[in-house]
Amino acid sequence: MKEAIDTGIAPSSAPISDCVRSGKHVWLVVIAEDPKTGTIVAGDIEPQTRQALQNLDQAIRAAGGTLADIVQVQIFLVDRADAKGMNRVYAEYFVSRPFPVRATVVVKELLAEGLRIEITATAVLP
């Protein structure tokens, strides 16, 4: 049985959940949006990555876990040149081994205007 988790992040107008839990498994998707207003954070990849990862931390905590419970991450970037800055910020949030398995994909564009990063993650809670 799956349960949508209220993360406290402004909900999307699309028919999606940003955090779903089923037993010990949690699936999450976050973007670089202000969690209260839903507006995209201005700036280059570093502030956008930081906001997306803060949202990921908030969402996994709402589901009863921590970033340490995340086992897989998928990152979508609109510019290959953003990978270095994204990795710099990512290393501030995922600081100890074992790190989550991760794929980073460069895409043509993301749905929200000005959005440079989108992150999906899977967690297994203790």
**The predicted structure's pLDDT at residue 13:** 85
- pLDDT, greater one: 124 or 13: 124
Position 16 scores a pLDDT of 92
pLDDT digits (tens, 9 = 90+) for 88-109: 999 999 999 999 999 999 999 9
pLDDT digit string, tens, across residues 25-51:
999 999 999 999 999 999 999 999 999
> Which residue ranges make up each domain of the chain?
3-124
**pLDDT, mean of residues 12-23:** 93
Residue 107: per-residue pLDDT: 98
pLDDT value at position 89?
98
Q: How far is CA 78 from CA 44, 47, 73, 111, in A?
A: 11, 15, 17, 11
Cα distance between residue 16 and residue 121, in whole Å: 15
pLDDT of residue 24: 97
Region label for 64, one of left (φ > 0), alpha (ψ between -120 and 50) or beta (otherwise): left
> For the domain with range 3-124, which CATH number is right: 3.30.1330.40, 2.60.40.1120, 3.40.250.10, 3.10.180.10?
3.30.1330.40
The pLDDT tens digits of the residues spanning 53-85 come to: 999 999 999 999 999 999 999 999 999 999 999
Q: Is the pLDDT of residue 12 over 90?
A: no
